[in-house]
Structure formats: structure tokens, C-alpha cells
């Protein structure tokens, strides 16, 4: 078996039916966990189903969808067991699937090729950070690499979820011809 280097920037594929690629943003060697972001949009949807300016990440329909329907439909049972519950400190909540905050975008994606969602014609995607005016949520746009405020009900905004995944549960791995890492769970 070839040695696979798990480090930020590496593209992995959690194998279940359709292969969706993820990019490693951060590795925690002590916990044997990797923070990954979806390589492409998994959907385009509003941040919240109703126009409610008091909505937060904790009460948003996008959070409910990510941690319920999306989580169950996207990942196999074995993959779901490998995904950690994560305390989202800035929101004081616990999620398995989440969106990056503005601070995390600046930390992990700033000046990086990871910024561009490969193959998506519109590269704007939701973040979980509220806009300064509290009238919407910030989305990331890679055209100039600047975060921009957008209304809560905007349709067609990209969703690039993140998960922390347990690297100890990887059974075997193989490299594809283009250097991508395929992790079969």
C-alpha cells in the first residue's frame, strides 16, 4: 500500500456511490482528524427558508438541512461514524456538518487555490457569519477574494459544507493518476 500524505490542500474522495471530492484544510495529528471542505457546491439554496432578520446560524434552515437530510443522504453509515461532533465556538452549538466562518475563510482559504470551487460557474458560497448590519449573512466570492454581505433569502447561493473526519477509520487508500487521494471507508 502506498503511503498517503494527509496535509492541507490534498484532495480526498469519501467513497459512497457518487464520488464527491473534499479538500483538506487542517490536520489535527493529536486527534487524528482532518478538517475538510467540499471541493464543489453540494447545492444552491437560501440561508433560511423564511425571511427572518433575527435568524442565526443556530436557527437557520441551512444548518438543519446540513445536519439532517444532507448528512444522512450524503454519507454512508460508516462515513457518518467517522465524522466528529464539533463545538462551533462562535455560535455556541454542536454540529457534524457546518459552513466556514469569515475568520476560518481568512485562515484557511486566503490567497489559496482552495478558494475556487472547481467547475462551478458562480463561485459565491455561504459562510455562517452574520453581516455587520445584521441584515444578512456573509458569503465568500473568489472574484477578488473578498467576503460580501448578502440577504438571508438569496436563492442560488452555493453551499460548501465542512466536516472534521476521523483519519483512524480510513481502511485503505490509493492514489489516482492525477495525484488525488481516494479514501475508501
Q: For 65-82, what is each residue's pLDDT tens digit?
A: 999 999 999 888 888 999
pLDDT tens-place string over residues 19-67 = 678 888 999 989 989 999 988 889 989 999 888 888 899 999 999 999 9
- Decide if 109 is inside a domain: yes
- Decide if 3 is inside a domain: no
Q: What share of the chain in percent tops pLDDT 70?
A: 70
- Decide if 6 is inside a domain: no
Mean pLDDT over residues 13-22, rounded? 68
For residue 77, what are the domain limits? Answer: 11-184
The tally of domains found in the chain comes to 1
pLDDT-derived band at 184 (thresholds 50, 70, 90) equals: very low
Average pLDDT in the chain: 77
DSSP 72: H
In this structure, the number of other CB atoms found within 10 A of the CB of residue 106 comes to 14
Mean pLDDT over residues 129-154, rounded? 69
Distance in angstroms (rounded) separating the CA atoms of residues 103 and 81: 28
H/E element, 73: helix 71-74
- Decide if 135 is inside a domain: yes
- Decide if 144 is inside a domain: yes
Grid cell listed for 14: 469519501
Strand partners, 175: 181
- Decide if 1 is inside a domain: no
pLDDT-derived band at 174 (thresholds 50, 70, 90) equals: very low
Q: In the chain, count H helices and then E strands.
A: 4, 13
- Decide if 5 is inside a domain: no
pLDDT-derived band at 138 (thresholds 50, 70, 90) equals: confident
- Decide if 42 is inside a domain: yes
Amino acid at each position: 500500500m502506498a503511503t498517503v500524505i494527509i496535509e492541507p490542500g490534498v484532495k480526498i474522495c469519501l467513497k459512497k456511490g457518487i464520488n464527491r471530492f473534499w479538500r483538506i484544510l487542517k490536520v489535527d495529528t493529536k486527534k487524528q482528524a482532518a478538517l475538510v471542505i467540499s471541493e464543489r457546491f453540494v447545492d444552491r439554496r437560501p440561508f433560511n427558508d423564511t425571511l427572518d432578520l433575527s435568524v442565526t446560524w443556530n436557527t437557520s434552515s441551512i444548518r438543519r438541512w446540513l445536519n439532517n437530510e444532507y448528512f444522512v443522504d450524503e454519507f454512508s453509515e460508516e462515513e457518518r461514524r467517522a465524522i466528529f461532533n464539533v463545538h462551533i465556538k462562535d455560535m455556541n452549538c454542536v454540529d457534524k456538518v457546518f459552513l466556514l466562518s469569515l475568520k476560518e475563510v481568512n485562515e484557511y482559504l486566503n490567497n489559496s487555490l482552495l478558494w475556487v470551487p472547481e467547475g462551478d460557474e458562480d463561485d459565491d458560497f455561504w459562510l455562517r457569519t452574520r453581516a455587520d448590519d445584521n441584515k444578512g449573512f456573509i458569503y465568500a466570492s473568489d472574484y477578488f477574494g473578498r467576503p460580501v454581505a448578502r440577504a438571508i433569502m438569496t436563492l442560488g447561493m452555493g453551499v460548501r459544507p465542512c466536516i472534521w473526519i476521523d483519519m483512524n477509520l480510513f481502511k485503505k487508500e490509493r492514489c489516482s493518476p492525477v495525484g488525488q487521494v481516494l479514501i475508501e471507508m
